[in-house]
């Protein structure tokens, strides 16, 4: 579904991504891991067209991304920080995004029901807690039945109950054939969801393969230790 070729991004003097090449197949679930400032969010934002690559190309379903915007109809994105116009209510923001994505006709309200978000619908966004905003954020990403879900630190800021509800939803959508990319810097947290692991360090891909391959190749018991052994080089 996604093909990235020699992607490079510089911010001033800083290389955020260096020659990143990878492919993500349709229907796969990819766990993008790496320490802080390793380029995870930059990579995600390049796919969304929010960051313009310095070099290289990204293809989505064979279409090269080059300032076009219609391809984003296929994507549901849950950013790391959720921020909305302060004076709008939850209901208004949901309706607004629906209104802006008028080509989608079938909506997925499952997450809104599970989070019991209807009771917050009349509240203004500035009066909501960080966790509730994050829930709104998640609901908007899933609302349009997108083929590709990009979730940047999806469980950060959520309580354990909501976090497991969200994980269940991710697994369900994966079983429905959706392509999913998600990130986290807390390795153990989302290990259960991962199939493919892409490990980024200082803007470069250090490992790309299945989770079993990673654990076998490093001879460690779990993902966290396997990644740690790559980072320390033994």
113 scored as a contact of other proteins (CB under 8 A): no
Nearer to other proteins, 101 or 225 (CB): 101
Burial class (CB in 10 A: 0-12, 13-18, 19+), 85: exposed
Pick between residue 54 and residue 212 the one whose CB is nearest to other proteins: 54
Q: Which two tokens stand for residue 44?
A: 């995600």
Q: How far apart are CA 43 and CA 98, in angstroms?
A: 26
Please select the residue that binds other proteins; options are 14, 62, 99, 233, rule is CB under 8 A.
99
Task: With contacts defined by CB under 8 A, name the span among 28-36, 77-85, 170-178, 191-199 that binds other proteins.
Answer: 77-85
Is 49 an interacting residue with respect to other proteins (CB under 8 A)? yes
By CB under 8 A, residue 107 contacts other proteins: no
Query: Do 147 and 178 contact (CB within 8 A), yes or no?
Result: yes
CB 63, min distance to other proteins, A: 13
Task: Give the contacts of 148 (CB within 8 A, at least 6 positions apart).
Answer: 1, 2, 60, 74, 75, 76, 178, 179, 180, 181
Binding site for other proteins (CB under 8 A): 11, 45, 48-52, 67, 69-73, 75, 77, 79, 81-88, 92, 96-97, 99-101, 103, 140
């Amino acid at each position: 579904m996604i093909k990235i070729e020699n992607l490079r991004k510089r911010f001033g003097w800083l290389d955020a991504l260096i020659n990143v090449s990878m492919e993500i197949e349709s229907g796969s679930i990819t766990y993008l891991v790496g320490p802080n400032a390793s380029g995870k969010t930059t990579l995600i934002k390049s796919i969304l067209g929010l960051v313009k690559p310095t070099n290289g190309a990204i293809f989505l379903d064979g279409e090269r991304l080059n300032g076009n915007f219609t391809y984003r109809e296929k994507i549901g994105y849950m950013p790391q920080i959720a921020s909305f116009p302060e004076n709008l209510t939850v209901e208004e923001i949901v309706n607004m995004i629906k209104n802006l994505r008028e080509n989608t006709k079938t909506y997925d309200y499952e997450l809104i029901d599970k989070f019991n978000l209807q009771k917050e619908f009349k509240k203004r966004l500035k009066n909501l807690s960080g966790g509730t905003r994050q829930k709104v954020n998640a609901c908007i990403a899933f609302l349009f039945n997108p083929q590709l879900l990009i979730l940047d630190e999806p469980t950060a800021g959520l309580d354990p109950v909501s976090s497991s509800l969200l994980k269940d939803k991710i697994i369900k959508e994966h079983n429905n054939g959706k392509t999913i990319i998600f990130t986290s810097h807390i390795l153990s947290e989302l290990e259960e969801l991962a199939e493919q692991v892409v490990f980024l360090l200082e803007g470069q891909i250090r490992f790309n393969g299945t989770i079993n391959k990673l654990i076998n190749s490093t001879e460690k018991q779990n993902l966290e230790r396997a990644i740690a052994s790559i980072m320390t080089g033994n």
